[in-house]
Amino acid sequence: METTLLIDEQPYVLEQLLSQERSLITLGRQSDKAYNVIAIDDEGVDTFQCQLSLCEAGWKIQHGQWRTECPKGIRSRLQHACSLCMGRCVNTRPAHPTYSWRMPEKVALVNGTELTNDGVLLQQGDIIALGSKRICVNIKTTRP
């Protein structure tokens, strides 16, 4: 299966964004507070807007993000990744990072329905609305 998000004609293949260190894909406005895997350049998007996780049934999108608490207050794409790549920071206890659920102040919609932190499974043709951005979901099923 290959799932692509199309944002401003830029394709993001979700499976290619995962790695051994990264199990979640975060979407949000880029800022000095956090690194997002997919940065959305829109003032109507919160820094901690939503996250995507891969499960057996496909990709699940949730309102908000799990984030590590950075003990030094450093977040930069130049720093090494914390455990599970939940944020970019220098974690003094990488074996035991502290996580918290960060709720955005701004609304996200999937097919016109407000997204919750319980999340929803993405389907072919879904439209995700973040601020003024409309993100199209394309899912290709590969057959052996």
Place of tokens 């964004």: 17
- Per-residue pLDDT at 75 exceeds 70: no
Instruction: Give the mean pLDDT of 64-73.
Output: 65
**Secondary structure class of 112 (helix, strand, coil):** coil
CATH code for the domain of 32: 2.60.200.20
Band of pLDDT at residue 32, cut at 50, 70 and 90 = confident
The domain total for the chain is 1
Structure confidence at residue 83 (pLDDT): 42
- Domain containing residue 103: 2-140
| pTM of this prediction exceeds 0.75 | yes
User: Given a cut of 60, is residue 111 above it in pLDDT?
Assistant: yes
What's the pLDDT at 143? 62
Q: Is the pLDDT of residue 132 over 60?
A: yes
Q: Residue 127 above 50 pLDDT?
A: yes
CA atoms within 13 A on the CB side of 109: 10
Q: Is a pLDDT exceeding 80 seen at residue 125?
A: yes
Task: Look at residue 102 in the predicted model and tell me its pLDDT.
Answer: 84
User: pLDDT at residue 76 above 50?
Assistant: no
Distance CA 50, CA 129 (A): 11
Question: What SS3 state is found at 87?
Answer: coil
Report the share of the chain in percent with pLDDT over 90: 57
Res 5 pLDDT > 90: yes
Two tokens at 57? 């049934």
Cross-strand pairs, 13: 4
